[in-house]
Amino acid sequence: MVPRAYPVGTGWIEVVTGCMFSGKTEELIRRLNRARYATQRVVVFKPSIDTRYAAEDVVSHSEQRFPSIPVAHAHEIHRQVGDAQVVGIDEAQFFDLDLVGVVEHLANEGRRVVVAGLDQDFRGVPFEPMPQLLAVAEYVTKTLAVCMVCGAPANRSQRLVPREARVVIGARDAYEARCRLHWRADPEDTQQRLPLPSE
Ligand SMILES: [Zn+2]
């Protein structure tokens, strides 16, 4: 039995979500560091490589670091969370829907849970389980990047290489942030494609 961090019912869920290059992980780390400075017990989880998405999606690596525990499935979070008062979860979009129940359980136990993840995939489709997490969270923060074409606030991840091409995990040059106007579902769609500043 895990000792409770707070009285039951006083936990909550915070979700930090947005497109690539919007600073989700930096915001997660900033919040966790604040808790750590206040001597709260903090633990962070990340999904271990998920083969469903590894070929299609990039896992970006923040230069900022916070030691994290890689887990293959959301249920492992509950097994390894110990007596942490604050639980961080990064790259939450790579977990399945079971993460929602796990996160709710952690909050119900009285813990503060801070979850970061992509809100949409490169096709602009909501990236499960983020929509469900947004629905049950007490606090939601949408982070925005800067559009690489026009400089406007950007909330979408533009894939720059053809859909069939295998993308090396961590290859930042395969994606860039785009605004609503300049994002294209299909990078090969030259009819719709607007010239980049360098062209
Ligand atoms: Zn733009």
Domain containing 127 equals 12-146
Q: Are 175 and 157 in contact (CB under 8 A)?
A: yes
Between 171 and 157, where is the model more confident? 157
Query: Would residue 90 count as lying in a domain?
Result: yes
For residue 189, the cross-strand partners are: none
Q: How far is the CA of 57 from the centre of ligand 1 (A)?
A: 22
What total of structural domains would you count in the chain?
Answer: 1
% of the chain at pLDDT higher than 90 = 65
Q: Considering only CA atoms, give the Rg of the chain.
A: 18
DSSP string, 135-176: HH-SEEEEE-EE-TTT-SEE-EEEE-S-TTS---TT-GGGEE
Query: Would residue 152 count as lying in a domain?
Result: no
Task: Quote the pLDDT of residue 6.
Answer: 60
Active site residue 91: yes
- Compute the C-alpha angle 29/35/38, nearest 5°: 140
Q: How far is the CA of 19 from the centre of ligand 1 (A)?
A: 14
Mean pLDDT over all residues of the chain?
84
* Given 91, 128, 164, 199, the catalytic residue: 91
Q: How far is the CA of 123 from the centre of ligand 1 (A)?
A: 17
> pTM value?
0.83
Query: Would residue 50 count as lying in a domain?
Result: yes
Query: Would residue 197 count as lying in a domain?
Result: no
Q: How far is the CA of 147 from the centre of ligand 1 (A)?
A: 5
Q: Average pLDDT in the 76-82 region?
A: 95
Running DSSP on this structure, what letter comes out for residue 120? B
Cα–Cα distance measured from residue 125 to residue 185, given in angstroms and rounded to the nearest whole number: 10
Helix (H) or strand (E) holding 25: helix 24-37
Q: How far is the CA of 22 from the centre of ligand 1 (A)?
A: 14
Q: How confident is the model at residue 15 (pLDDT cuts 50, 70, 90)?
A: very high
Query: Would residue 187 count as lying in a domain?
Result: no
For residue 71, the domain's CATH number is 3.40.50.300
